[in-house]
């Protein structure tokens, strides 16, 4: 049975059969063709068994291996590779069919090549997942054929390999590298001038020429009988929380990725940058209940805890309870912190319902409300219109677009920091705002 499951016959063999059948039928009226037709039949059978021997005479003649990373990165192009090798003493034609996970909905994957004995061959292909979770790769199927191309032998490797898809690790690494090499401007991150100094005390030292006279410590000067000044250092280890709304408003998709996953990718990349800049980072997710709370910690290993928590985030499509969020923040976050709230509002009435809770949080903490432009509406606004229906559509789109900007103004009126961003620019704009707040000494 295993032999039969691995045996496939090329289409060309059936073409030969068709030709021979035609010859046999014709020989009924032309007897002179009868022996020629049977000669061709025996020749074809001989070639068939010869090809069978060539393909099955060598044990385990084809080796193949699919290289998968430990984790795939959500929303990014992940490069995978397949390595091949042959023991056949002749040039072997192979067709590789990889059974990709069902989430990709791709059923036409095929790679064809020629293999020489002892010469390794590999090729790469990319996959772009758009949701987190477990992805199961099926069999790696290799169909090998000899130069006779009558039969194909099927080889099966690496059945059912599972790989988890995590929040965008590739995006996190990109911003990590740029942040540590001071090349953030390459991704549009602004270089912001430092304003004044922060107020974290370091030590008292003797005054030297050039020190800021405003930092003179008069009590220490009186004791030492010489000018003494306070020395300050940049404030570090400030608590920063990424708060993600997992309610139904965050399930809207753009470019195949939901707003929730855009927020998750951004929170991971941002947390990595903040940790590298010696701040404490934490995580809070909520909808109708508090789903995840990770206290802010300043350890680089803490990033793994945040990543695992982000990986397991899901939604029940419910309306989010901002009152519950306020109560939890008031009870659990005692130190003044920077709160980055990822949410979305489509109508100003929805914003006004939640505004009292956001104002209450902003009294004690620095609150940044992050919500999204509807890029589909923006493209509709930019289109030229030619008929009355298109004018109606464009007018309604402009109304919704204006409401987004009015919501931003409404929040800023009460002193709440805001980010109104396109989904694909979320991470850049979030890190920009973080750098701005740190540079201005707001927290």
Domain boundaries, the chain: 2-56, 62-166, 169-193+235-440, 200-233
Q: What is the pLDDT of residue 196?
A: 46
**In Å, what is the CA distance from 123 to each residue of 66, 110, 220, 230, 436?**
10, 12, 71, 63, 45
pLDDT per residue as tens digits for the range 281-291: 999 999 999 99
CB 143 within 8 A of CB 119: no
Q: What is the pLDDT of residue 187?
A: 52
For the ranges 26-30, 68-72, 96-100, 211-215, the lowest mean pLDDT is seen at 26-30
More confident residue, 320 or 391: 320
Q: What is the pLDDT of residue 195?
A: 44
pTM of the shown model = 0.79
pLDDT per residue as tens digits for the range 144-186: 998 888 888 999 999 889 999 999 998 888 887 656 555 555 5
Q: Which residues have CB under 8 Å from 280's CB, separation 6+? A: 237, 238, 239, 240, 296, 297, 298
DSSP label of 214: G
Phi, psi of 410 (to 5 degrees): -60, -45
Which CATH number applies to 62-166?
2.60.40.10
Average pLDDT over residues 13-31: 62
Query: Which residue in 254, 164, 236, 156 sits closest to 200, CA to CA?
Result: 236
**In Å, what is the CA distance from 185 to each residue of 146, 270, 317?**
55, 16, 37
> What tokens appear for 393 in the block?
């559509």
Q: What is the pLDDT of residue 263?
A: 95
- Burial bucket for residue 320 (CB in 10 Å: 0-12, 13-18, 19+): buried
pLDDT per residue as tens digits for the range 366-411: 999 999 988 777 777 677 777 777 777 777 777 877 888 899 999 9
Q: What is the pLDDT of residue 201?
A: 63
Q: What ranges in 277-347 are assigned the alpha helix state H?
A: 302-311, 322-332
Q: What is the pLDDT of residue 178?
A: 58
Beta bridge partners of 201: 232
The dihedral through the CA atoms of 345, 348, 349, 355 has a sign that is positive
Distance CA 242, CA 236 (A): 18
Taking all residues of the chain, what is their mean pLDDT, rounded to a whole number? 84
> What tokens appear for 10 in the block?
């090329």
Give the pLDDT band of residue 14 (cuts 50, 70, 90). low
Distance CA 384, CA 380 (A): 9
Which CATH homologous superfamily contains domain 169-193+235-440?
von Willebrand factor, type A domain (3.40.50.410)
Q: Is the pLDDT of residue 65 over 90?
A: yes
The crossing angle, in degrees rounded to 10, of helices 388-413 and 348-364 is 20
Q: Is the pLDDT of residue 74 over 50?
A: yes
């Amino acid at each position: 049975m295993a032999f039969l499951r691995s045996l496939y016959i090329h289409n060309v063999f059936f073409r030969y059969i068709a030709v021979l059948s035609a010859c046999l039928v014709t020989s009924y009226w032309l007897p002179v063709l009868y022996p020629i037709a049977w000669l061709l039949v025996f020749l074809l059978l001989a070639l068939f068994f010869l090809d069978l021997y060539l393909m099955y005479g060598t044990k385990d003649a084809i080796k193949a291996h699919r290289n998968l990373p430990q984790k795939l990165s959500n929303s990014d192009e992940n490069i995978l590779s397949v390595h091949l090798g042959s023991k056949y003493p002749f040039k072997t034609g192979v067709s590789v069919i990889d059974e990709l996970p069902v989430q990709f909905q791709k059923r036409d994957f095929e790679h064809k090549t020629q293999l020489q004995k002892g010469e390794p061959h590999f090729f790469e292909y990319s996959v772009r997942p758009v949701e987190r979770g477990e992805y199961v790769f099926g069999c790696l199927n290799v169909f090998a054929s000899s130069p006779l191309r009558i039969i194909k032998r099927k080889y099966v490797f690496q059945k059912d390999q599972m790989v988890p898809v995590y929040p965008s690790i590739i995006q996190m690494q990109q911003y990590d590298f740029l942040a540590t090499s001071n090349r953030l401007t390459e991704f549009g991150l602004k270089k912001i001038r430092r304003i004044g100094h922060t107020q974290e005390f370091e030590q008292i030292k003797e005054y030297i020429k050039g020190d800021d006279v405003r930092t003179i410590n008069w009590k220490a000067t009186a004791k030492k009988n010489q000018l003494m000044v306070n020395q300050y250092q940049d404030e570090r280890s400030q608590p920063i929380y990424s708060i993600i709304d997992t309610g139904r408003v965050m399930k809207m998709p753009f470019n195949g990725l939901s707003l929730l996953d855009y927020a998750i990718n951004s929170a991971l990349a941002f947390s990595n940058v903040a940790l590298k800049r010696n701040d404490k980072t934490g995580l809070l997710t909520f909808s109708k209940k508090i789903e995840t709370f990770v206290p802010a910690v300043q350890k680089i290993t803490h990033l793994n805890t945040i990543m695992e928590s982000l990986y397991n985030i899901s939604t029940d499509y419910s309306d989010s309870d901002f009152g519950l969020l306020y109560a939890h923040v008031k009870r659990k976050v005692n130190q003044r912190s920077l709160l980055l709230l990822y949410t979305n509002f489509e109508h100003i009435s929805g914003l006004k319902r939640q505004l009292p809770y956001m104002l209450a949080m902003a009294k004690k903490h620095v609150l940044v409300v992050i919500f999204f432009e509807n890029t589909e509406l923006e493209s509709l606004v930019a289109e030229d219109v030619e008929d009355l229906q298109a004018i109606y559509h464009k007018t309604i789109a402009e109304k919704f677009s204006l409401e987004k900007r009015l919501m931003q103004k409404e929040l800023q009126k009460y002193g709440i920091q805001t980010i109104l961003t396109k989904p694909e620019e979320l991470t850049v704009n979030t890190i920009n705002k973080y750098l701005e707040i740190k540079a201005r000494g707001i927290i």
